[in-house]
């Protein structure tokens, strides 16, 4: 097993857990597609990294986070929904990103689909640290967000600022998407925050099982996709998606069977 | 403006409260005061501003006028509706969102009649109307409030559960001396379970003893053409808080 493959597996497992954990909130908030679309906003930042010769992931994160803050602010000012604003921002970002990449199609392909050959021990260590931070911070705001979902009145009457919590949450999405881009690229990274959580939700009646399963499914999808891609010598992103979808289908069949039995 | 500096003998004092939503006046110049330990029912026709009054008392919506709660008062709130349909959360997990202490949760489950029952591990979305109301009361009292604001305590529950819930509320007010503000459409319940009634029809139209609520003259005041009263004050209840 090569160093690049081992590093990729570490990044995959770390991203899978963090994305699954965070994604469990996004699915509850019915913001799954927002997370998916938001991931594309990283593209202009990645392009600037390639063009100006600095780490594209730094550019991607800065673009993601600034866009997230702007969208958060505009949604408060205009009362437009997140979905509407993210929808506008992600198409604009894709357009700018493609223009910036110009005829550098190899770099564009890497940004869109990821490239695990560039992942080394340093990237793996960073991914693990970022994932630990994301899970820890998400744990801190999880209760508040769930309470806000159940009743904004209950949350506010407990002194919770729903707006401030949402801002921190957007920062966490930006961090998770940034480290996930290495494995799946901007085009498919949104999958990791959506599908594992959706499969877990089908199988769970309580919160602790839901969060645990979502994180585990995220890690299994990423690890099995990367291993298969190494075996078949293809890019890992699509195989990560297919592995996750298989878990999702198994969850649906399991639910259907338990309904038939009862 | 909501402040915590009301005179020592009042737990709540509201002065000239006005609430507008989308340029429409929902509550108009409402003033009243209540003392500790009483049960006050808020009544009035649909759209009279009852739930809006609660939201203003909790400082959840913009308003003008003055709302003064007794200093350091702890307020519990039970909303009419919760959006739990799509959330995989058990009863125990829901209560722990507010208070993580296992012993406090066990105690509160016992006090709302759900002790040792499998219901505590059930998904919140699968509860019956009666079970949900009990859990919500548990939610409101788990951190031992001085005042409980309860919006339609028995909406969506059967008659048996209704009696049990009001019995539970009565215990809270008599044994634990909780001040209770409840919104209800049912005037029989208001007469039976509350000390005083405040009728709202955008402004204050009646404020007095609940036993007067079935009186035809009172009914005319509540449901007839609104004739606004300036101020209602209940001069009862203990003064030590």
Q: Which pLDDT band holds residue B236 (cuts at 50, 70, 90)? A: very low
Name which of A171-180, B17-26, B154-163 the model is least confident about: B154-163
User: CB-CB: which of A146, A206, A210 is closest to B97?
Assistant: A146
β-bridge partners, B42: B183, B198
Task: Tell me the two tokens of residue B11.
Answer: 């737990």
Model confidence pLDDT, tens digit, residues A214-253: 999 999 999 999 999 989 988 888 899 999 999 999 999 9
pLDDT at B77 (0 to 100): 84
- Nearest by Cα to A52 from A89, A104, A92, A95: A104
pLDDT at B155 over 80: no
Closest-CA distance, B189 to chain A, in angstroms, reads 26
Mean pLDDT for B178-194 is 88
Residue B180 confidence (pLDDT) = 92
Spell out which residues of chain B touch residue A210, defining contact as CB-CB under 8 Å. Answer: 88
Residues from B contacting A (CB-CB < 8 Å) are 55, 58, 60, 75, 77, 79, 81-84, 86-90, 93-94, 97-98, 121-123, 126, 139
pLDDT band at B239 (very low <50, low <70, confident <90, very high): very low
Give the per-residue pLDDT at B3: 53
* pLDDT top residue among A227 and B131: A227
**Total beta-carbon pairs less than 8 A apart between chain A and chain B:** 59
Inter-chain touch A157–B122, beta carbons under 8 Å: no
Numbers of helices and strands, H then E, in chain A: 11, 0
pLDDT in tens, B204-224: 888 888 888 888 888 888 887
The span from the CA of B188 to the CA of B185, in Å, is: 9
Q: Distance from A28 to chain B by nearest Cα, in Å?
A: 6
CB distance from A151 to chain B under 8 Å? Answer: yes
CA-based nearest distance A209→chain B, Å: 9
CB-based contact A209 B87, cutoff 8 Å? no
Q: Flag residues of chain A having pLDDT under 50.
A: none
A52 compared with B228, residue with greater pLDDT: A52
CA A77 to chain centre: 26
pLDDT digit string, tens, across residues B65-95: 999 998 888 888 887 777 777 788 988 888 8
pLDDT at position B241? 33
Interface with chain A: mutation pick from B4, B77, B88, highest number of A CBs within 10 Å: B88
Tell me which chain A residues have a C-beta less than 8 angstroms from the C-beta of B123: 205-206
User: Does the CB of A165 have a partner CB in chain B at under 8 Å?
Assistant: no
Cα dihedral A156/A160/A161/A165 (nearest 10): -130
Instruction: Please give the residue that has the higher pLDDT: either B237 or A229.
Output: A229
**Which range in A130-134, B174-178, B236-240 is most confidently predicted, on average pLDDT?**
A130-134
Cβ(A209)–Cβ(B92) below 8 Å:
no
Sorting pLDDT into bands at 50, 70 and 90, what band is B237? very low
Sequence-ordered list of residues with C-beta below 8 angstroms from that of A86, at least 6 positions apart, any chain: A34, A37, A38, A41, A71
A161 touches chain B (CB under 8 A): no
- pLDDT (tens digit per residue) in A90-114: 889 889 998 998 888 888 887 887 7
- The residue among A157, A141, A44, A26 whose CA lies nearest residue A82 is A26
Could you tell me if A154 lies within 8 Å of chain B, comparing CB atoms? yes
pLDDT at B226 (0 to 100): 74
Residues 203-232 in A contacting B (C-alpha not used; CB under 8 Å): 204-210
ipTM: 0.75
pTM score > 0.95 for this model? no
Nearest CA in chain A to B125: A205
Residue whose entry in the numeric block shows the structure tokens 């929904």 = A81
What per-residue string of b and e applies to A9-30 under the rule 16 or more CB within 10 Å gives b?
bbbbbbbbbbbbbbbbbbbbbe
Nearest to B79 among A149, A153, A209 (CB): A153
Question: What's the pLDDT at B114?
Answer: 79
**Pairing of β B75-78 and β B2-3:** unpaired
CB of A201 less than 8 A from some CB of B: yes
Distance CA B51, CA B96 (A): 26
Q: What is the pLDDT of residue B8?
A: 58
Measured between CB atoms, which of A30, A154, A207 is closest to B89?
A207
User: Which residue from A11, A1, A119 is spatially nearest to A56, judged by alpha carbons?
Assistant: A119
Residue B34 has pLDDT above 80, yes or no: yes
Separation CA A197–CA A184 (nearest Å)? 17
Q: What percent of chain B has pLDDT over 90?
A: 16
Task: State yes or no: pLDDT of B235 exceeds 50.
Answer: no
Minimal C-alpha gap between B60 and chain A (Å): 7
> Shortest CB distance from A205 goes to which of B79, B81, B90?
B90
Q: pLDDT-derived band of residue B42, with 50, 70 and 90 as boundaries?
A: very high
**CB nearest B55 (choices: A153, A204, A208):** A153
Q: Is the pLDDT of residue B174 over 50?
A: yes
With an 8 Å Cβ cutoff, are A150 and B82 in contact?
Answer: yes
């Amino acid at each position: 097993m090569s160093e690049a493959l081992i590093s990729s597996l570490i990044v995959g497992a770390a991203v899978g857990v963090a994305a699954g954990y965070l994604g469990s909130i996004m699915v509850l908030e019915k913001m799954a597609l927002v997370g998916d679309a938001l991931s594309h906003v990283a593209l202009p930042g990645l392009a600037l990294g390639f063009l100006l010769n600095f780490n594209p992931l730094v550019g991607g994160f800065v673009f993601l986070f600034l866009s997230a803050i702007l969208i958060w602010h505009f949604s408060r000012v205009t009362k437009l929904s997140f979905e509407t604003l993210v929808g506008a921002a992600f198409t604009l970002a894709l357009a700018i990103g493609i223009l910036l990449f110009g005829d550098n199609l190899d770099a564009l392909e890497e940004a869109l689909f990821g490239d695990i050959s560039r992942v080394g021990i340093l990237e793996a260590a960073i991914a693990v640290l970022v994932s630990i931070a994301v899970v820890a911070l998400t744990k801190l705001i999880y209760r508040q967000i769930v309470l806000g979902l159940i009743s904004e009145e209950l949350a506010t009457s407990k002194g919770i600022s729903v707006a401030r919590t949402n801002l921190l949450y957007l920062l966490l999405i930006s961090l998770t998407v940034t480290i996930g881009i290495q494995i799946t690229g901007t085009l498919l990274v949104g999958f990791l925050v959506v599908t594992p959580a959706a499969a877990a939700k089908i199988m769970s009646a309580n919160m602790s099982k839901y969060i645990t399963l979502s994180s585990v499914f995220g890690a299994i999808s990423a690890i099995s996709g990367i291993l298969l891609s190494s075996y078949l010598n293809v890019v890992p992103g699509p195989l990560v998606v297919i592995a996750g979808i298989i878990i999702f289908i198994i969850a649906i069949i399991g639910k259907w069977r338990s309904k038939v039995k009862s | 403006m909501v402040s915590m500096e009301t005179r020592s003998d009042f737990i709540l004092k509201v002065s000239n409260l006005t609430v507008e939503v989308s340029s429409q006046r929902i509550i108009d110049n409402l003033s009243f005061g209540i003392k500790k330990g009483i049960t006050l029912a808020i009544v009035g026709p649909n759209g009279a501003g009852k739930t809006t009054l609660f939201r203003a008392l909790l400082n959840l919506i913009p308003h003008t006028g003055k709302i003064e709660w007794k200093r350091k008062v702890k307020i519990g709130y039970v909303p009419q509706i919760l959006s739990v349909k799509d959330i995989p959360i058990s009863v125990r997990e829901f209560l722990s969102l507010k208070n993580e202490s296992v012993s406090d949760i066990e105690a509160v489950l016992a006090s709302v009649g759900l002790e040792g029952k499998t219901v505590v591990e059930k998904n919140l979305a699968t509860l019956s109307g009666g079970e949900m109301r009990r859990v919500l009361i548990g939610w409101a009292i788990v951190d031992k409030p001085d005042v409980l604001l309860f919006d339609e305590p028995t909406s969506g529950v059967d008659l048996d559960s209704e009696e049990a819930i009001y019995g539970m509320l009565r215990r809270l007010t008599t044994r634990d001396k909780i001040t209770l503000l409840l919104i209800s459409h049912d005037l029989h319940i208001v007469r039976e379970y509350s000390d005083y009634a405040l009728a709202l029809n955008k402004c204050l139209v009646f404020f007095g003893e609940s036993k007067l609520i079935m009186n035809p003259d009172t009914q005319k005041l509540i449901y007839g053409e609104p004739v606004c009263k300036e101020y209602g004050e209940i001069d009862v209840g203990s003064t030590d808080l």
